[in-house]
Each structure stands twice: as C-alpha cells, then as structure tokens.
Structure 1
Amino acid sequence: MAGVDELGPSEPVPFWLRNADLPKRLVTALVMLVVSGTALWLGGMAWTVFVLIIGIGVWFEWSTLVLQFRTPGRSRNAWRCAGAIYCGMGSAILIQVREQAAGAALVMLIVGAVIGTDVGAYFLGRALGGPKIAPKISPSKTWAGLLGGVIGASLLIWAVLANAGRILAAAPSAQITAVETAASPMAILGMGMAVAIVAQAGDFFESWMKRAAGVKDSGKLLPGHGGLFDRVDGLLAVTVVFGTIFILVRLSTLT
C-alpha cells in the first residue's frame, strides 16, 4: 500500500490518510472528557483546582512560546504578563460560572459549543478542503471548516438547551424557563456562529504565536493534540470574550 509521500504531488490525499492520527486523538479526547466531566460534576474545590491547574499549565506553555519570540527581553516580559492576565481571566470566569445555581449547565454550554466548533471544523474542513482563511497563519484552516464549526457549535448548543430541564434540576424554575426559552432556532444559530468565530479567532491567535516561536505545537502533553494551549485556545478566547461582555453588561445595569 502506498505511503503518503508516494502519492504524486497533484494527487489528492485520501481522507483516511489525512486523519491517520484520529484514533490517538479520540482516546486522548475521551480521557480529557472523563477527567473534566468528573471535576465539573463534583464542582466546588475539585472544579476550582482542576481549572487552576489547566490555567497554570496553559500560561506555562504560553511563556515557553514567548521565550522563543525574536523580540527584546522587555517585550517578552510584557507578553508573559499579558498571558497571565488572559489565562487568569479565563480561569476565574469558568470557576465563577460553575458557582452559579445553573453553573453546571452554563459550563456545559460553553465547553460543548467550543467542542462542537472543533469537531465540526475538523471533519468538514478535512472532508471538503477548499479555500484557506489565512494560510500564512494557519494553513489547515478553511472556510469549509469554519462552516463546520458553526454547525457543530449550534448542534451542541441545541443539545444542552434541549436538556436544560434535566441538567438544571436543582436550579430555580425561573432559570430553567429562561434557558429553555433561549432554545429558538435563530438564537441557537446566532450563538453557534458567534462561538465558532471567536473560537476560531482564538485558534488563529495561538497559531500566530506558534509561528512566531517557530514550533508546531505548544507542548507534547496530550497525544494527538499537542499541548494544553493547543486544546483550550478556542475555549479560552470564548470564555474571556463572552465573560467580559457579560461583566460589562452587568456593570452597566448597576450604574
């Protein structure tokens, strides 16, 4: 059977060859899902410690990338401080969200939407290929992948909202009604599109950092996925962006 490098330069690479690392990625993803799901279910200190460990790990990988930038020392220090703020904000928001009455469902909504974006973008992007969004930053990201991300995010958001009653069994009925009301098709599509765009932007930002550092992955901790930053770049962006918007809206109502 011909290997990948035996195919002619003009011959399209078969889908299964382009996804040769899929089994490894799936096993790693399953382990991550079990660990994070257990921490989310337990809540309290278990969730706080889990999020802080991930946040510190991401900041460490961020700092490692920055140290390989071709910039003056002061610029590197500024980047490291920015990374501490960025990772710290994302961690603090996820911890605070879980503490709310409907916290478990809200975290599932955020994480599920980002996972849907990643899965949809991965499969539809690889299956269809097509024009690249920004090949100089991330050669593998296509417009088809972005469309897949929107579809995947919307489906996961729908799945969480459709089961809001069961997920929020311990929450006040008013909160259950509010969440279920948000499950209109247009609202779901709008949320899916917003999450997919922000998550992809976070992915592009991390890709730019890796290119500036001259590396392929932010780390090697997760087989088939690279480092922690590689895995949560989209989630971090979504959490910080929408968390900040929510905080600003809440503050505006208090003035």
Structure 2
Amino acid sequence: MVADEGSSPPHPKPVPSKELSTRVLSALVMVAAALLTAYLGGWAFSLFWLAAGIAIVVEWTDMTAIQPRRLVQVILGVGLAALTLLVLLGAEVWFYLAVSVAFLAVGTFAVSDARKRIWAISSFLYAAPIILVPPIVRAHPDLGILGLLWMFAVVWATDIAAYFTGRTLGGPKLCPPISPKKTWSGFIGGVVAATACGLLVAWIGRRYDAALPLTFTGIAALSIVASVASQIGDLGESALKRHCQVKDSSHLIPGHGGVMDRLDGFWAVCVIVALVLLTLVGPTV
C-alpha cells in the first residue's frame, strides 16, 4: 500500500524517529520473509501466501462486522486452504471454480444478515488472487522467481517512491474524497520508480540468462500499468476503510496496520498478472 503519509501537504510534519524505525524494521522483516519463501518455493511459499489470504479474510470480515464472524472466517479460510492445495497439486481450472463456488455458497449462507452476504463474497474474492497468483508465477516455466522479483520490485518501488516524493514535493491532491493526503507528485514518482525498477529486474535477469518473456518496451509498459494499478488498489482499500470508519484494517503489523494495508497494491498487481497470463499465455493451472 502507498502510505498516506507519502502524500502529505507541502510542509509535512516530520515522521517521529521511533515511528519510522518501527516501520522500517517491520518492512525489513516482511521483505525478508517474502524473499526467503520465494527462494524456497513449493509448500513454504504457498503457505506464506495462504496465511496472508486468511488474514485478509479475517480483517475484511472484522471491518464489515459480519455475523457469526468466526464461523464465516473459518469456512472461507478452509476454502482458501483448499485452493492452495489445488495449486500445489497442479489441478485443472474447473476444480478451482468448483471449490470456490462451494465454499462461497456455504460461507455466504452462514451470514445471519442477508444484507451483509456481499461482504463475505467480496472478502473471499479479494483474498483469492493473493493466495493463487504468487505460487502460480513462481512455478511458471517462463516466469519463475524472476517474475516474482519483478512483481515485488514494482510494488515496493511504487510504495517507497510515492511516500518520499509526496512528502518532499507535496502539491495537488490525487483523490481528496478517499485519501486526502495523497498527491499527484507521489503518484508520478511511484510510477517512474516502478518502471525503472521493473526494467532493472529484467536487465539483471537477462545478464544471468533468466529473461522474462517480454521485450524491454513491453516490460516498461507493463510496469507502468502495474504501478498505476497498485496505487488504485491502495485507494480502493482506503475507500473500504473510510466506509467502515476505521483507520487501519488491523494492528497486526507494527507501524503498518494490517495485512490489507500492506498488500492492497500487491493485490492489484496480482490481478494484472493473472489477466496477462490468461489472455496472453493461457491458463497455467
């Protein structure tokens, strides 16, 4: 997620050193865990993203006050675990669809208030790309760990550059009704940095005979689209929090809020990558 502080007014208050230290330490731990499990692949990597997906369902249903909350969370969490197992087994696409429909039906009808059933459905659909796309990319013969590093680089560069560019330059607001502190300078800074880092990952990959299946022009274009999508994903999650009248999706990650607060941008990039795989490469599961 692109931090709100990264798009503050022209003369922002400095971030307290203790708060910044907490944010940096938490970020380093998360980055290390993501990179280590990406290197290991297989079960370790899939379980890492399954944990993130379950946390998303818990945070989403907590924010939207679904009842009976724990029962719905357990049902949808088991559904996500079933999808992860299908990824590891290399199942056919129709298995994913059948399992998703089954658990969505059970989880939805377990909600006592019919008006809130849409929140149960949306929590599962929001978590699904997070648990499916990274393991599929990791196992893909033309993408593998280099494809994951590109995804990480684009999202992290967008996040960091938007934070510091917005704080330094300030300027016109990006979307005041949803996130009043974000600026266009942060948005543009994020896109530029993401494009540069996406190209850098691709260039390093080619140096070590691990090229991505796109030209540098294609990688630059896709990096721009992914960075824009990442920031739109951030705004979407901000809109949900505003609707639910909460500041953070949870307090799970010190200095950062919840898992949704950290993965809203990555979620959007997962969706972009899934669309690219389905339209250009064909189903990979």
Q: TM-score, normalised by structure 1?
A: 0.81
Q: Is the 8 A contact 2:10 2:167 kept in 1?
A: no
* Equivalent residue in structure 2 for 1:134, among 167, 175, 195: 175
Distance 1:167 1:47, change over 3 A: farther
Identify which of 132, 138, 163 aligns with 2:204.
163
State the SS of the aligned residue for 1:141.
strand
Q: For residue 151 of structure 1, what is the amino acid of its counterpart?
A: V
Percent identity at matched positions? 32
Query: What pairs up with 1:144-159 in 2 under 5 angstroms?
Result: 144-159=185-200
> Post-superposition shift, 1:250?
3.9
Partner residue, 1:119:
160
* Residue type at the aligned position of 1:93: V
CA distance in 1, matches of 2:174, 2:272: 21
Equivalent position of 2:267 in the other structure: 236
RMSD: 2.4
1:131-175 deviations in Å (ceiling 9; x for gaps): 111111011211001111111211220221111146665xxxxxx
Partner of 2:109: none
Please, which runs of 5 or more residues in structure 1 have no aligned partner? 1-9, 170-175
Going from structure 1 to structure 2, the CA distance change for 1:46 and 1:128 (only over 3 Å counts) comes to same
Among 83, 98, 114, the alignment partner of 2:138 is 98
Is the contact between residue 151 and residue 192 of structure 1 (CA under 8 Å) also seen in structure 2? no
Structure 2 stretches lacking a partner, 5+ long:
1-8, 67-111
Provide the rounded CA distance (Å) in 2 between the counterparts of 1:120 and 1:199: 13
Structure 1 residue 189: Cα displacement: 3.8
Separation in 1, partners of 2:197, 2:115: 39
Higher RCO by CA contacts (8 Å cutoff, separation 6 or greater): 2
Q: Is 1:204 equivalent to 2:244 in the alignment?
A: no
Q: Which amino acid aligns with 2:215?
A: A
- Whether contact under 8 Å (1:18, 1:126) holds in the other structure is no
* SS at structure 2 position matched to 1:119: helix
Distance 1:19 1:113, change over 3 A: farther
Corresponding residue to 1:192 among 219, 223, 226: 223
Deviations 1:39-69 (A, max 9, x none): 000001110111111111112111112228x
SS of equivalent to 1:140: strand
**Which residue of the partner structure matches residue 30 of structure 2?**
32
* Other-structure match for 1:223: 254
Tell me by how many angstroms 1:209 deviates: 0.5
Structure 1 residue 115, shift from structure 2 partner: 0.7
Distance 2:268 2:238 in 1: 13
> Alignment length, in residue pairs?
229
